[in-house]
A and B are shown apart, each in its own frame.
Chain A
Amino acid sequence: MNKIVAVIGGGVAGLETSIQLEKLGYKVNLYEKDSELGGHAGKWDRLFPNRRHATEVIDSLTSRIKDKVQINLVATVNQIKRENGSFLVEANGKSQKADAIVLTTGFELFPASKKEEYGYGIFDNVITSAELEKMFADHGKPQSTTGKTPEKIAIIHCVGSRDEKVNRPYCSKVCCVTAVKQAIEIKEAIPTAEVYCFYMDLRMFGPGYEDLYKEAQVKGVNFIRGRLSETSEMEGSRVLIKAEDTLSSKPLKMTVDMVVLMVGMSPLPSTEKILKDLELSPNNDGFVQVKDYHLEPTHTKAEGVFVAGACTGPNNITDSVNAAHSAALEVHKYLTSK
């Protein structure tokens, strides 16, 4: 059997799909637009709910495809054409044949500067959850721009999620538990720090998530129900935040040393071009439309084109791995019956 499958995107879903397809005996061409495999998870420090290092997961995935799969790095797929029942995938001026395609293009983090009233990109000590992860990876604790250790930190949920004002009406699913995880990590790194989470609902849907929330409460993380309205910069690059404390129906203000924005998952703009080539359309939220949400969640309406991971909507790593298994099996069924 020498059928070829093109997997587009080298994050968790793409890596796992490649592993499974290779095991099933297919030749896999994996395309990754960045210079490294691993996607967003590869840039994360530790994972919820058990706080294992992300590198453990990513290294395990990458070591299993090494030398078994054709890996194309810094390879943006520019065009996909159908030709005699198969596909021609063009990246960096080079076209390669593929008998089936799996889209695992993932997502982008919500560009926080679009929520201008939160001050990201304007005030020094307003950062994103991704930047906080990098601080944990680099220094083991958060640091303000002056290099000082912040003593009072506000974590803002739902930035670019559940917000029609920025055209992101859906829930990004993973940010609640990420906020709780990061709040615990801040408390562990700086025991004297005061940490306040501003939430609307806490959506702790997965195994171990509620336990993590309870652990945060035990460690003294404060939870305030209310959405942040705006920030302003105060003396010493501190940040004044305003919200309603909806449990007491009163406005609330507080000056903090650092604001961490829990940015949601947004559709990746470059996926749109690929969808156009394949004559597919995105769903209402802008992610890849699957053929049947309940019964065929890794099929698309286009023949020979399958999909897995967060390009179909907000996903955690477990979701992506499951979808990857499913997609690989569906590709196998498709190519053996062809």
Chain B
Amino acid sequence: MVNFGYTPLPTHIHDMDKASLTLADSISFEDASFNLCIACGSCTATCTAGSFTNFSFRQMCHQIKRGESKQAIAESEKCMLCGKCTLACPRNVNTRNIIRLVRKANQTI
């Protein structure tokens, strides 16, 4: 058959039936404060790395919760672990530890 080079467009929909939430489950098991995010954005607003790159801790957490582990792991590399976000978080999410857990998961995957 002739290959015309057409393929279906990659979908941009979150299909939660297919999403793998292994990373989300393991992080929430190891540090339950991961669950407490209310998406206020304080972490991202105060982020030093975020002033120079497009790093967003809030978005990274969101990617984990939607099963986008690869993107989240890549995102976690942008953090320099200064810990300002931990001071800013109104829900006491242990943000630095979450970064550490994401990076650790990367090593085991």
Interface of A is mostly: strand
Contact call B35/A218, Cβ cutoff below 8 A: yes
Cβ of A60 < 8 Å from any Cβ of B? no
Measured in the bound complex, the distance between the Cα atoms of B35 and A214 in whole Å is 9
A253 to B13 CA separation, bound complex (whole angstroms): 7
Chain B residues with CB under 8 Å of A218's CB are: 32, 35-36
Contacts of A222 in B (CB 8 A): 65
CB distance from A83 to the nearest CB of B (A): 58
User: Residue on A with the closest CB to B91?
Assistant: A214
* 8 Å CB contact of B17 from A214, A245, A248, A253: A253
Assess whether B28 is interfacial by the CB under 8 Å rule. Answer: yes
When the two chains form the complex, which single residue of A214, A247, A253, A254 contacts B39, counting CB atoms closer than 8 Å? Answer: A247
Residue of A nearest to B63 (CB): A248
* Contact between B59 and A248, CB atoms less than 8 A apart: yes
Given contacts A225-B39, A245-B66, whether A251 and B32 have CB atoms under 8 Å apart is no
- Please encode chain B, from 15 to 46, with 1 for each CB lying within 8 Å of some chain A CB and 0 for all others: 11100000000001000100110010000000
Query: Would B35 and A252 count as touching, CB distance under 8 A?
Result: no
* 8 Å CB contact of A254 from B12, B16, B28, B63: B16
Interface size class of A (residues with CB under 8 A): 10 to 19
Q: Is B103 an interface residue (CB 8 A)?
A: no
B14 within 8 A of A: yes
Given contacts A220-B28, A222-B65, contact A245 B14 (CB under 8 A): yes
Once bound together, how far apart are the Cα atoms of A218 and B37, in whole Å?
10
- The yes or no answer to A270 lying at the interface (CB within 8 A) is no
In whole angstroms, how far apart are the Cα atoms of A217 and B28 in the complex? 10
Residue of B nearest to A248 (CB): B62
A144: CB under 8 A from chain B? no
Q: What is the CA–CA distance of A220 and B29 in the complex, to the nearest angstrom?
A: 10
A133-156 CB contacts (< 8 Å) to partner B: none
List residues of chain A with CB within 8 A of the CB of B36: 214, 217-218
Check if A255 is an interface residue, CB within 8 A of chain B.
Answer: yes
